[in-house]
Amino acid sequence: MDIDELMRRLFEFYPDGCTVDVREPFFALISTVMSHRTRDDVTYPAAERLFERFSTPEEMVEADVEEIEALIKDVGFYRVKAGRIKEISRILLEEYNGTVPDEMETLLKLPGVGRKTANCVLAHAFLKEDALAVDTHVHRISNRLGLVVTKNPEETEIELKKILPQKYWRHVNILLVKFGQNVCRPVSSRCGICVLNDMCPKILL
């Protein structure tokens, strides 16, 4: 498959995917933790509400967990996530002087932070060129397009890094999440409007 042509079409279909949305590290970390199993259009309004009230690790640690829960109640598993937000904030203060780490291995030590979350933080907060965030959309679509044959997002990240030029890594999550939400959906894919339908093995069969 012509990777450059595939990316060109996605960039043309989603022009805002050309620019990585730069976020403050603490907001990037907490909002991505909040996004687990929650749509972006729910996550980010909730994150904005939370950060209007508590915007630093110090403020989060001092906050009542019930108030955090009330501010983020629209996101899935909000009670679990409220506890994680306080715990992450405590660890940042006690072990990292209130600063979000900019290394994968260190981020993965934080509760509720997996490779997808860590890569999102590295890409959006620190503009790391070697960050490639793989969530369920990226994993599913990469396999559907035949780019990889993998069993989980971790394997997909490894295999995508072998075939995608690094200049695309920071953009893949932005583009394929949008694509997976409104075109290449898990069920009832909109193949008729897909800009990749002549490249997709599912269509060509």
Catalytic: 102?
Answer: no
Confirm whether residue 18 is marked as ligand binding.
Answer: no
- Give yes or no for a contact between 178 and 39, defined as CB atoms under 8 angstroms apart: no
Identify the H or E element spanning 142: helix 136-144
Catalytic: 161?
Answer: no
Query: CA-CA distance, 71 to 156, in Å (whole number)?
Result: 34
CB-count burial class (<10 Å; 0-12, 13-18, 19+) for 163? exposed
- Looking at 81, 86, 135, 178, which residue is catalytic? 135
- Looking at 81, 86, 116, 178, which residue is catalytic? 116
Confirm whether residue 120 is marked as ligand binding.
Answer: no
- Give yes or no for a contact between 119 and 134, defined as CB atoms under 8 angstroms apart: yes
The residues that are catalytic are 116, 135
Q: Tell me the binding residues for [4Fe-4S] cluster.
A: 184, 191, 194, 200
Q: Tell me the binding residues.
A: 184, 191, 194, 200
